[in-house]
């Protein structure tokens, strides 16, 4: 099992989530395997415009509100899901976000 984490701009998150949930990888196994979670986080992506620019007193630096997406999948679905995120999270900037893929050693459902 793999965990995919993506840090993307807030204006791209809804389209990315919709595409993930409509993908063949998602629908092949139902949504129980994927456990998609979205968090709004303060990050260091380059702001798209001045309205995104914020200064964090706690961090002492400029930040933007971006989204962190986390989902789990089998290894066979990683490439498809990552391609969807990369394609739809683009903003036109040189760096529109980051996607990480990690191994999940153990996953235990809470029943």
- Share the mean pLDDT of the chain: 88
- pLDDT at 48 exceeding the cut of 70: yes
What number is the average pLDDT over the span 54-64? 77
Q: Is 87 left (phi over 0), alpha (psi -120 to 50) or beta?
A: alpha
What number is the average pLDDT over the span 32-59? 80
CA distance 22 to 97: 22
Band (pLDDT 50/70/90 cuts) for residue 107 is: confident
Domains, the chain, in order of start with CATH, read 2-103 (3.30.70.120)
Query: pLDDT tens digit string along 73-105?
Result: 999 999 999 999 999 999 988 788 999 999 999
* Residue 106: HSE in the Cβ half-sphere, 13 Å Cα cutoff: 2
Beta strands, E only, the chain: 2-9, 37-43, 54-56, 61-73, 97-103
């Amino acid at each position: 099992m793999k965990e995919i984490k993506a840090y993307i701009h807030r204006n791209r998150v809804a389209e990315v989530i919709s595409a993930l949930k409509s993908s063949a990888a998602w629908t092949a196994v139902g949504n129980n395997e994927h456990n998609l979670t979205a968090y709004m986080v303060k990050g260091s992506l380059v702001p798209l415009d001045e309205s995104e620019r914020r200064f964090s007193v706690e961090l002492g630096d400029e930040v933007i509100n971006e989204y962190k997406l986390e989902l789990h999948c089998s290894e066979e679905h990683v490439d498809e899901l990552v391609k969807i995120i990369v394609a739809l999270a683009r903003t036109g900037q040189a760096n529109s976000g980051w996607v990480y893929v990690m191994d999940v050693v153990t996953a235990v459902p809470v029943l």
